[in-house]
Chain A
Amino acid sequence: MNVFKHEMRQYRKTLILWAGSLSALVFLCMLATPLFINESSSMKEMLASLPEAALDAMGIDLELFFSAVGFYSYVFTYIGLAAAIQAMSLGMGILSKENRMKTADFLMSKPKSRSSIFLAKLAACLCSLFVTGAVFFLAAWLSILTMTGGDFAFAPFALISLSFLLLQMIFLSVGLLAAALVGRIKSVVSVTIGIVFGVFLLGIISSIAGSEALRWLSPFRYFDYGYAMKNHTYEGLFMILSAALILGAGIASYVIQMKKDIKAAA
């Protein structure tokens, strides 16, 4: 409990900054909704002239695709990027900082098992991420409410927003694993941004080029918002893949952290 409280206090300011800037970002982006709806008319006409079967094959629900929720799905691409950076730097930072700040001896010599320390830190991460997620969800809901006056499809909106937490869980466990594997990480920010951006850009390239194979490489593309808007559910296969990734990386980091040699500050 002490470790949990200590970590929560340590990350309070970071948490407020993240929640605040994500909320501001989503609101700012959503201000462009009318622009999106005006400019989408030519594409809408073109698509509407296609036969029903072709539209089905593309997996597009026309009405929804060109509504505020459709625009939100594009905006969310960037929100997801930010969420991943937050989660991964949190996971990587919380495990590796004892080593970096040379406080590992202090913590490890307390009458507490490694396992309980790890679990307390994990709980602090989850708590921070849930709070960020909740604040963001509220902000996104308020933004879309002000832009549409309440006239929007809630279920697809909620599905898109909930992938926020799933993305965070994936990158949190990857961050924990990276910290457990590598002894000393000099700059958590650099490593996080390098990895998350690389994966994000792979996802962008795969969606511009319409490549299915590349999707597997980028967790950002495990959640196809076009599909979610049309079918009101995520894709089962990629859900299983996400769950496997979260559990696999999480458990692996726990096992490694229990056994690894932690260097003393000397």
Chain B
Amino acid sequence: MKQIFARELKANRKSLLFWSLGMFLLAAVGFAEYAIFKNNGTEIGPMIDMMPRVVKIMFGMGELPMDTAEGWYACMYLWLSFIAFMHAALLGANIISKEEREKTSEFLFTRPIKRSTTLAGKMLAAVLNVLALALVAWATSLAVLYPHINGTSMVSGVSLTMLGMFITQMVFLFTGFLFSTLSPGRSGSYAAVAVIVAYIIAVLIEIQGNVDFLNVLSPFRYFHAAGVLADGLSWVYVALSAVLCAAAGFSSRFIFAGRDLRN
């Protein structure tokens, strides 16, 4: 298991570097723009707030006024987490299925290592990758935003929302594993579509309004920024995420252990 774990870490090093770089750049540019926006925001800020609600929601500006640090953060958080969720879902969808796609499964699965052990090694490496990307997002956001939120309660708010993002990343990662074991050929596309559908559902829930119980349907809504900044992480959704991850993880394990490998 240790070799598999180490090998996967190495194999994903380059792609993790690119995703981290992208995340870093977006967070840096996104939050640096806030400074510029705030300086001449006396005109733009109120104008954004008066925009039709549908449009504001479509672009992540629906929850809080954009001329506050909280509002800007909530909007950028949505986009950063979109990137993080895509990364997690695609990573989960590829890390197992790539052996079958690249025709290396005969080599790997004839080693004297149980399939479930191989799977565990790969999952652990993937979790570590996801954690690294979350840390990049957290550190960059805090570093660039810090001058604007110094001394406010938002420092802990940023950390809490980023923790929420990490938990949601795990949900998408394990969903990716499940796609990976179910359909190795198309798992990447399925995982990407899953993230996009979840986003569309989240937008629809927000447009409808007052249907918070429907948040269950879209992981985007489990820890949305406005909610977390106001009330912290909701334990119900932490538990739900844990259950989802465990369910997807165990079913992947059992499906994969008993399945005929394509070659």
Contacts and interface: CB of A to CB of B under 8 A. Distances in A.
B30 A205 contact: yes
Contacts, number: 96
Contact of A187 (B53, B90, B103): B90
Question: B53, B54, B102 — which one has the most chain A CB atoms within 10 A of its CB?
Answer: B54
Nearest to B188: A189
Contact of B52 (A40, A190, A214): A40
A201 interface: yes
Given A187-B98, A190-B15, A205-B29, A35 B207 contact: yes
Contacts of B75: 208
Interface stretch (B18-26, B107-115, B158-166): B18-26
A198 B61 contact: no
Nearest to A37: B52
A266 B131 CA distance: 38
Interface residues of B, number: 41
B183 interface: no
Contact of B55 (A74, A204, A210): A74
Interface in A191-208: 193-194, 197-198, 201-202, 204-205, 208
Interface string B57-82: 01101000010000000011001001
A202 B50 CA distance: 23
Interface residues of A, number: 33
A32 B207 contact: yes
Given A39-B53, A190-B188, A204 B33 contact: no
Given A193-B86, A214-B29, A187 B50 contact: no
Interface string A195-229: 00110011011001111001000000000000000
Nearest to A66: B52
A46 interface: yes
18 contacts: A35-B54, A36-B55, A39-B52, A39-B54, A43-B47, A43-B51, A46-B50, A75-B58, A102-B103, A186-B94, A187-B98, A194-B19, A194-B86, A198-B83, A201-B79, A202-B29, A208-B48, A208-B61
Interface of B: 15, 18-19, 22, 25-26, 29-30, 33-34, 36-37, 44, 47-48, 50-55, 58-59, 61, 66, 75-76, 79, 82-83, 86-87, 90, 94, 98, 102-103, 188-189, 192, 207
Interface of A: 32, 35-36, 39-40, 42-43, 46, 66, 71, 74-75, 77-78, 100, 102, 186-187, 189-190, 193-194, 197-198, 201-202, 204-205, 208-211, 214
Nearest 10 interchain pairs by C-beta: A189-B188, A209-B33, A43-B50, A39-B52, A40-B52, A198-B22, A190-B90, A36-B54, A39-B53, A36-B52
